[in-house]
Amino acid sequence: MEENKDLEKTVEDDMSEFEGTAVPEKPSASVSSVSEEDEKEPEAVNINKEELKKQLTEAYTELGQKFFKEVCQPMSGRPRELPRPSLFAEQVTRIKTIKEKFDAIVSAELAAKGLKACPDCENEVVLASKFCNMCGYKFPVKNDEKKMRPTPVPRCKQCGANLEPDSVFCPDCGKRQ
């Protein structure tokens, strides 16, 4: 029993030294949202990014503490069961929400520079890139890009002149197509 308290204290001390922040006692109830005004002002965006990073760190810490409590602490002689994923659903949802907001800010900043982030390795690449130059990730082709590709123009088999799509004869040489 005394060993468990010492272990918990050691883990909490180690976690508070990691990232240089204190272990949060209680998670913050709300996740700050980014308004349109904040996206226009670079300083406000940086403040929101820093706030989101802080909230993300707190959410990960909370998840780790709950996981440790549910999985790692010994029970009174009973074998430990694997935890149900639903035990961590609140923390995971919170992390996803914060991460989506943070990623949206970063994506907007990169797009303003004509860049995008590779979802596989997080390398910054040019918006028009079809592949990541670091890991080879193939970016999905959007429907708009497919529509922009020119359709091949039919050509005469004999002289190579451009034909109308429904032409039976070439308007230049008269050859039947």
66-93 pLDDT, tens digit per residue, is 888 887 776 666 666 777 888 889 999 9
pLDDT at 19 over 70: no
Q: Is pTM beyond 0.85 here? A: no
Residue type (1 letter), 58 = E
Q: What is d(CA 129, CA 59) in angstroms, rounded to the nearest whole number?
A: 34
Range of the domain at 16: 2-126
Pair (117, 62) in one structural domain = yes
E strands in the chain = 115-117, 124-126
pLDDT at 34 over 50: no
Exposure of 39 in the CB half-sphere (CA atoms within 13 A): 16
> Of 103, 10, 4, 14, which Cα lies nearest the Cα of 53?
103
More confident residue, 95 or 24: 95
Residue 133 in any domain: the answer is no
Pair (82, 109) in one structural domain = yes
Pair (28, 96) in one structural domain = yes
Pair (147, 80) in one structural domain = no
Pair (119, 39) in one structural domain = yes
pLDDT digits (tens, 9 = 90+) for 104-147: 998 899 999 999 999 899 899 998 889 999 999 999 887 765 56
Residue 135 in any domain: the answer is no
Residue type (1 letter), 151 = T
Residue 131 in any domain: the answer is no
